[in-house]
Structure 1
């Protein structure tokens, strides 16, 4: 396993211990924290974590883990030898960048049954901060927001404004907009999610780790959702295949030179 691994693991575990979802009731918050810790331990056991249930049960856990990994990656990037490529590949531009930081998320960003659920709404608010931190992190991270080009027009005028302001913010040096082929009307369900590739280039052999999360955006929260999380290096057949699949899909559907890491 890569020498990046112990440092990242330490950051994730430390942040997970401090992570608190305070939006719901005390029993709900305690259950969410317990499930997050259990699934993180499974991920570090080099396992794929899969769970399927109604969105009320799954989103706070899955996106809670994603938030923790984003915070840990931001901490890891203090090591200037680390290079990271973060790809958000979804039907519509990344939800957290379509809501203003620290603002209450708009109902238009989520499914009907999520609008009165504080635990799920807080997942948007938390990542509105973590994604912006990565966007500002500097030269050793690239944050790519990939979506079918028509997906932008599916956002409300106000949400398009927020997203475009982020793209035009000079502080967001790591942020890059990747609208995909106009003929692409949707994104395959199994590819929706995010991919985080972390490399340490100043070593005798290039080292890399990947954290992959697959699951629906908040706007599709009204249905039963399956979440899949993978963590490991590219010697893992599962990690390698899933990353190759999204890499090939993105490269096929844009004329931009994405310069995605090779597995």
Structure 2
């Protein structure tokens, strides 16, 4: 014998939800459904969660602020890790390192130190300052799985390509930024808001670090060992791994009703049913 039942369908959009309710009959084994008719249907409209003029998400300011906090925290963590490494490898003493900061009015600009490292042996204080300076910026590295590019990524890649052509005339990125008129006339060494002029690839900056160690070794520096380089690059390249496999499953909670089972995604048919 067939029984009467109801089903509801939802079409959820960014500023509306369409809905309909239909009557269905199902057999005793609940293996087959037949639509009887539409009971009711309609649409609920509401305002988009975005600025009406620009179309920007209302959550964008919060998202950008959160991203900035995370980036600053990670940069601070790398700097602290390098400080500990320099002390551990006896490049500089803890008290001497602490005395370097804040810098005095007579201190050499770290950008000049970055350039001088190609032509002379640095003191251990200069070398320490340079390694702490270099760990702050790591260049662009895309984690996209596809080749689809948004407007911002396209601008970044365009400037990286242009800078790679310029870099062929210089030994390192730092030398290019210090000497090439494209950058030197600006009187600064970083991008302003919405600018991508100083963008370079992560590989280019890693190559600079390797070259600086090689040059300092050639000048006879006792503070530029291959062991230090290896440990330094581990800190410089460190990146939180992407969640996969068991890492994802471990973050899934238990079902409210079947407490021995993991929750299932809300988008699955089983959950919706």
Larger Rg belongs to:
2
Query: Per residue, is there more strand in 1 or in 2?
Result: 1
TM-based fold match above 0.5: no
The one of the two structures with greater contact order (alpha-carbon pairs below 8 A, sep at least 6) is 1
TM range (shorter): under 0.3
